[in-house]
């Protein structure tokens, strides 16, 4: 949370180290309390946020062209998520 009360990120997923070297992390799902926390975060915050973005794009008649079929499509939750991951992979975090 920022000083003004604004969330600093969309979610507060718990993560854990995937190796003893502590070079990469993964979503923490192996302890029951972390699993329950992350599931709640996914259902209550992450999916509704993706839906809002998809609905806004579709309302504005923004489409995308599918890389595998060439079809022009409207946005679904998974499309928004994959577009965001692709952007971050190309541009990195701000």
How many domains does the structure of the chain reveal? 1
Tens of pLDDT along 2-56?
A: 566 555 566 777 777 776 676 777 777 778 888 898 899 889 988 999 999 999 9
Let me know if residue 9 belongs to a domain. Answer: no
Let me know if residue 22 belongs to a domain. Answer: yes
Angle formed by the axes of helices 77-91 and 47-59, nearest 10°: 100
Let me know if residue 8 belongs to a domain. Answer: no
Instruction: Report which of residues 90 and 79 the model is more confident about.
Output: 79
Let me know if residue 4 belongs to a domain. Answer: no
pTM of the model: 0.72
State which residues form the domain around 19. 15-91
Q: Where are the beta strands (DSSP E) in 18-91?
A: 25-27, 64-65, 72-73
Let me know if residue 62 belongs to a domain. Answer: yes
């Amino acid at each position: 949370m920022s000083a003004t009360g604004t969330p600093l990120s969309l979610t507060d997923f718990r993560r854990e180290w995937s190796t003893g070297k502590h070079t990469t992390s993964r979503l923490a799902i192996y302890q029951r309390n972390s699993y329950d926390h992350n599931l709640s975060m996914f259902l209550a915050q992450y999916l509704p946020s993706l839906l809002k973005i998809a609905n806004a794009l579709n309302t504005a008649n923004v489409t995308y062209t599918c890389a595998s079929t060439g079809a022009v499509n409207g946005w679904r939750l998974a499309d928004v998520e994959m577009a965001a991951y692709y952007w971050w992979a190309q541009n990195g975090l701000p």
